[in-house]
Amino acid sequence: MAFVAEAAGCTKPTLYRHFGGKDALFRAALEREVAALERHLFDAYQAGAGLPLGDQIRNATTALFDYATAQPAGFRLLFDERQADPHTEIRARLLQAVRDRIAGVVRAYADQTGRPLGASADVLAAMMVALVIDGARQALLVSHVDPAAAARLACGLLDAAVRGVDPGLLAALDRAAGASPPPVGR
């Protein structure tokens, strides 16, 4: 708290009065970073809406890598596995919102190709989001490689995966989930 107070140009009692303690300060910092990343990502998703699938993938993936590059401390706060954090529900909310948005893109693409998806779109979106976040974490926090090059690799991998996934595997997953795919144009 002394370090934070000094960096903020205030006293420790002021921090305690405002936040109540270390845990509340950490939670506030985490909530602020989640809101910033969510705004950044969803602005990028909105800007990419209506683009061809490959461009949407590139736009969304690059947005996460750009955020991580521009806000390394914020990215570390959100995704560094070494962080001890009692507030996992904050990250879980962010990740669910991102997965839901990506699942919508996957469903729209599947509808356009005449192969509507059920639960498999959610599973595929979760895999895509995990790949990008873990790839960014590895590139920026572990391997310290060029984030732009890592983003291009992630884009290529995701584009190939989405276009190359066997439709039979998706249909089998939907059947196993007991959900019939939604009608085209939903």
CATH classification of the domain holding 156: 1.10.357.10
Is there a domain that residue 46 lies in? yes
Kindly state the tokens that stand for 91: 């990250």
> pTM value?
0.81
As a whole number of angstroms, the distance between CA 98 and CA 165 comes to: 21
Number of domains in the chain: 1
**Tens of each residue's pLDDT in the chain, 186 residues:** 777 778 778 777 877 777 777 888 888 889 999 999 999 999 999 999 999 988 999 999 999 999 999 999 999 989 887 666 667 888 889 999 999 999 999 999 889 989 899 999 999 999 999 999 999 999 999 999 999 999 999 999 998 888 888 989 999 999 998 855 555 444
Is there a domain that residue 107 lies in? yes
Question: How much of the chain is helix, strand and coil, in % rounded to 5?
Answer: 80, 0, 20
- Given a contact cutoff of 8 angstroms between Cβ atoms, the answer to whether 56 and 48 are in contact is yes
Task: Tell me which residue range forms the domain holding 69.
Answer: 30-176
